[in-house]
Structure 1
Amino acid sequence: MTAAHDYEEMHHLVDLLPPAGVRRLRLLVESDPELARFVDAAEDEIDGRDLSFIGLGSSGRSDVSERHDEILREGLDRLL
């Protein structure tokens, strides 16, 4: 059995767990000194996400969803 196989099997098992089971599994992992550092590292990784793309598509218009076809057409006409 390879590490990749173990990973796939464990991933599949976690996917099958109900939410309460996932919470229990997390508590078990967090209580194990050898494994807890990986939980901490994963949380640091999530907390450090770069969300600089938020608002990137801000056009200043409030009617973009209603007029998206027209706005796209105007933009394409300018390019041609």
Structure 2
Amino acid sequence: MTAAHEYEDMHHLVDRLPPAGVRRLRVLVESDPELSRFAETPQTQSARRELSFIGLGASGRSDISERHDELLREGLDRPS
């Protein structure tokens, strides 16, 4: 049996599981030292630094496109 075939079989197995079975499978994977890192979701992975200017588009400012270089420098705390 090839790895691709095993992967496909596992996909079909998970698709057939009831919700309670999926939750039990997740608990098993999360408790396995070798597999737990694959069960991490973006929410459970270490927090990444969010850029302070991400929401700039909804800031209410009307001069964003004209001052984008200056605003980016401010957001990154870099001198001119």
- TM-score normalised by the chain length of structure 2: 0.52
- RMSD across aligned positions (CA): 2.5
Which structure is higher in helix share?
1
Match of residue 22 from structure 1: 22
Measured against aligned partners, the alpha-carbon deviations of 1:10-48 in whole angstroms (never above 9, x if no partner) come to 0000000000000000000000000001112xx129x89
SS in 1 for 2:42: helix
Identity of aligned residues (%): 73
- TM-score normalised by the chain length of structure 1: 0.52
Match of residue 37 from structure 1: 37
Unaligned 5+ residue runs, structure 1? 49-80
Query: Which segments of structure 1 move beyond 6 Å, counting only runs of 4 or more?
Result: none
Which residues in structure 2 correspond to 1:6-17 (within 5 Å)? 6-17=6-17
Unaligned 5+ residue runs, structure 2? 49-80
Aligned residues: 47
